[in-house]
Amino acid sequence: MEAERQGEPEAAPGPEEPDPPTDPFAAVSLPSLPVRPGARDPNLPPGRRARGGSRLPPGVSPDIMGSPGANRPVMPGSGTSSLPPLTAPPQPWKMPAPVQRPPQRRPSGDGPPYGMSGVNGPGGTAGSGGAPGLQPPSYDDPVPHRGRRVLLTLLLLLLAAGLVYTIPAIVMSGKMLPGTRVNGVDIGGLTATEAADRLRERLAGDEDRKMVLRAAGEKYALDPSRAGLEFDVVATIEQAPSDFPAPAEVWRALTGTTELSPKVSVDTELMGATVEALAKKIDRRVREGAVVFKGTRPVAVIPRDGLALEEESAAEAIADAFLSPGAEVDLPVSVIKPKVTADTVRQTAARAGKALSGPITLTHAGRRVPIPVGTLAAHLSFVPDGTGGMRPEFDAAKALTVAEKRLVDQALAPREPTFEIVAGRPRLVPGRRGRGIDRAGLAQAVARVISEGGGRTIPVTLTTVRPRLSDAQARGLGVKEKISEFTTPYDCCPPRVTNIRTLARILDGHLVLPGETFSLNGVIGRRDTARGFVPAPMIQGGRLVDSVGGGISQFVTTMYNAVFFGGLEDVQHVAHEFYISRYPAGRESTVSWPEPDFRWRNDSKYGVLVKTSTSGGGVTVAFWSTKRYDIESISSPRYDVTPFTRATAAGPGCIPMTGQQGFTIDVTRVFRQGGREVRRETKKTVYRPETDLKCVSNPATTPTTTSTTPPVVPGDEE
């Protein structure tokens, strides 16, 4: 149609026409049906008839000749037009504006540049194939093709990535991921059952291997099974995913390894017992600095750090290190610092001698009782004061063992409950309150005199003193049967027998409470004539001399054996330096003032009653309590035997000595309950040879052979 109208003038611009319909015939009005004269026009509404009537042939519109004033074209040579008016030329569909591109030259020829059509330049003219100002799209444009190629490439990449993930994931599904290891054992690609079997097989040796623990510079071996440790294979495998793996898991399986830590099951009861046993070996009480007196000479006790095993953290460290390849386990240990420094202790010791410048005298109701310097020294010490310094501390209760009896009427004194043996059974002897020296007040007064100086006479006051136990508490101590008894015979010398009997009388009926430590020097104090002790032979400087209280080592040896067979804890006993035949080898002890002491601890939950007797030709010590153990003593043969030497001496104080060989012996104490051994302990005793000493009247004419061994301490010393 446009080609037929190329010669027509361009119509004046008018209002914008609506878009043509899709059906080109819809733009043309259909002719009305012809109406016969007198007939009803079907084009009219019902009831309305046409006026006049058309005489035109059928199919001819009555306005074919036009109507006046119509805008019709004028036929050439005529002033009027006899043709119907022209319909508006159809407009092309509106298209989106083409992308403006810079003109490009063709390779050859004089045609228009790419992107421009027609001979009349841009904008298009007749023959351009488009409306003015519009340009049809070029199907050679590369942009749509490039977008499709990018989209297609992305789709292919996504498909490839999906295949790269899906195929390995399907292969790995239901098994341990490749590269999965436990303590170096590869379980990748195995099912859970196969992995469990392999781990049990490969790690069985690690599970049975003893662990090495280290604490405070010491090493300890540990059997993991006794500590309640066991390799938990199921929990270990459950850490590894074995279902359909995620992309990240597939990537890790293909490119790296996964180390799983072995899981451990712990029997908390067994582990607790193991750690508690370790704590007993590792823990060390802090030693506070102090100044004590050896005789009357002040001695500095240098402070030492304490150690405490952190039991909860230690259990965790042991469990974490179980199955680890051969590493030592460092156990956490806390260090407990003392309250004073070593320098402070040394400075205090240098000034402590002034405290013993003389005795302290106690007075009451006209009575005067001195506390000798030796007694002061035995019960005086300097301890931390809490501010970094040190203060004097006096144990008035122990120091008053003798003085209180002289100052207070014994009919008014308090009495502790005890037991007597009637018809082979213990019977309670009730205690009572009474009058006694105010111990706390006296301790403060003595400490003040030592710190501040001044007069050394202290008036004491009396107060009501209660027994340390009530009768009901004494009945609940479980003192019901004899648990041990031992006897040693006298073989010499009335003075030493007197001292043994005196000591036995003082200690008869003494009650040692559960957890309490018995100290012979602490209970008896310095031996003196006021309580019935007399001079008897004892060794000083390698020779026998008379001294007050000599011979009581026999009583100490007797009590030591009662402790041994009673199954009680031996805290401190010192064997004689040479063997004395009246005592069992390796099971005897000596004592002196103030050292060495003899101490034992009641480590049971029952009270221990000490009963003594000296009838016949020896001394007997028996313990009454509740029996816990049957004790057996096993002695080794004597070994490392060394001969003794001979010597002579003269003078009125010479006491002859019988030579004895030196040797070493081991004694084992076996503890049994119900016939089953529960534990044993072995102690070694080394005896030096005893010099064979003879006393002569004229040493100048008698050859003398002296021993090359140092002076020894005899068996019947104090």
**Per-residue pLDDT at 242:** 63
Alpha carbons 699 and 711: distance in angstroms, whole number: 20
Highest mean pLDDT among 219-233, 523-537, 626-640: 626-640
Six-digit token string for 242: 């074995």
Q: What is the pLDDT of residue 67?
A: 47
Strands 517-519 and 599-601: antiparallel
Tell me: the pLDDT tens digits for 495-540? 889 999 999 999 999 999 999 999 998 888 778 887 889 988 776 5
Nearest Cα to 87, choosing from 30, 29, 131, 4? Answer: 29
Question: Where does the pLDDT of residue 183 fall: very low under 50, low under 70, confident under 90, or very high at 90 and above?
Answer: confident
For helices 247-255 and 143-172, the axis angle rounded to 10 degrees is 70
Percent of the chain with pLDDT over 70: 72
pLDDT at 426: 95
CA distance 326 to 395: 54
Tell me the average pLDDT across 645-664.
80
Determine the Cα–Cα distance for residues 626 and 646; give it in Å rounded to an integer: 50
Considering only the C-alpha atoms of the chain, give the largest distance between any 2 of them, rounded to a whole number of Å.
199
Q: What is the mean pLDDT of residues 31-57?
A: 51
Give the H or E element holding residue 576.
none
Query: So what's the pLDDT on residue 112?
Result: 52
Q: What is the mean pLDDT of residues 70-80?
A: 48
Residue range 154-175: mean pLDDT, rounded: 74
For residue 176, the Cα-to-chain-centroid distance in whole angstroms is: 34
Read off the pLDDT of each residue in 648-654 and give the average, rounded to a whole number. Answer: 75
91/104 Cα distance (integer angstroms): 30
- What is the DSSP secondary-structure string of 667-714? EEEEEEETTEEEEEEEEEEEEPPBPEEEEES-GGGS-----SSPP---
pLDDT, average across residues 62-66: 51
Task: Annotate 4-49 with DSSP letters as a single string.
Answer: GGTTSPPPPP-SPPPPPPSSGGGGSPPPPPP--TTSPPTTSPTT--
* Cα–Cα distance list, 13 to 10, 20, 97, 128, 178 (Å): 9, 17, 20, 20, 80
Closest by Cα among 101, 97, 94, 129 to 115 = 101
Stretch (H or E) spanning 249: helix 247-255
User: Where does 383-470 have alpha helices with state H?
Assistant: 396-407, 439-452
Q: What is the pLDDT of residues 450-507, one digit of tens each?
A: 988 888 999 999 999 888 899 999 999 999 999 999 999 987 778 889 999 999 999 9
700: pLDDT strictly greater than 90: no
State residue 505's pLDDT score: 94
What type of residue sits at position 597? D
Rounded CA separation 285/267 (Å): 29
Question: Cβ of 516: how many Cβ atoms within 10 Å?
Answer: 14
pLDDT category of residue 144 using cuts at 50, 70 and 90: low
d(CA 112, CA 138): 14
Which amino acid would we find at residue 604?
A: S
Q: What confidence score (pLDDT) does residue 397 get?
A: 83
pLDDT at 126: 44
pLDDT mean across residues, the chain = 79
- Residues 508/510/511/512 CA torsion (nearest 10 deg): -110
What are the CA-CA distances from residue 479 to residues 254, 470, 586 (Å)?
77, 15, 30
In angstroms, rounded to a whole number, what is the distance separating the alpha carbons of residues 354 and 352? 5
In single-letter form, the type of residue at position 296 comes to T
Strand partners for 574 = 590
Residues 375-394: what's their mean pLDDT?
91
| 616-626 average pLDDT score | 93
Q: Work out the average pLDDT over 543-569.
A: 88
Q: 245: which DSSP letter?
A: P
8 A C-beta contact, residue 561 and residue 486: yes
What distance in Å separates the CA atoms of residue 558 and residue 573, rounded to the nearest whole number?
Answer: 12
d(CA 342, CA 327): 37
Can you give the C-alpha Rg of the chain in angstroms?
60
Per CATH, domain 346-474 is 3.30.2310: no
Of 620, 613, 557, 553, give the one whose Cα is nearest residue 584. 557
| Residues 195-224, mean pLDDT to the nearest whole number | 81
Q: Please determine, for residue 7, whether its predicted confidence score (pLDDT) is greater than 50.
A: no
Q: Which amino acid is present at 541?
A: G
Tracing tokens 């009662």 back to the chain, one arrives at 562
Question: Tokens in use for 58?
Answer: 């059928």
Tell me the pLDDT band of 704, cut-offs 50, 70 and 90. Answer: very low
pLDDT score recorded for residue 129? 46
Sign of CA dihedral 651, 655, 660, 665: negative
Average pLDDT over residues 430-443: 92
Q: What is the pLDDT of residue 335?
A: 95
Distance CA 718, CA 716 (A): 7
User: What is the CA angle 118-123-125, rounded to 5?
Assistant: 45
Q: Select from 598, 603, 545 the least CA-distant residue to 569.
A: 603
Contact 418, 429 (CB under 8 A): yes
pLDDT at position 260: 79
Residue 315 has pLDDT above 80, yes or no: yes
* Residue-level pLDDT at 135: 54
pLDDT for res 101: 57
State yes or no: pLDDT of 100 exceeds 60: no
Q: Where in the chain is the domain with CATH 3.10.20?
A: 346-474
Confidence (pLDDT) at 682: 96
Region 546-572: mean pLDDT is 92
Cα angle 74-77-83, degrees, rounded to a multiple of 5:
35
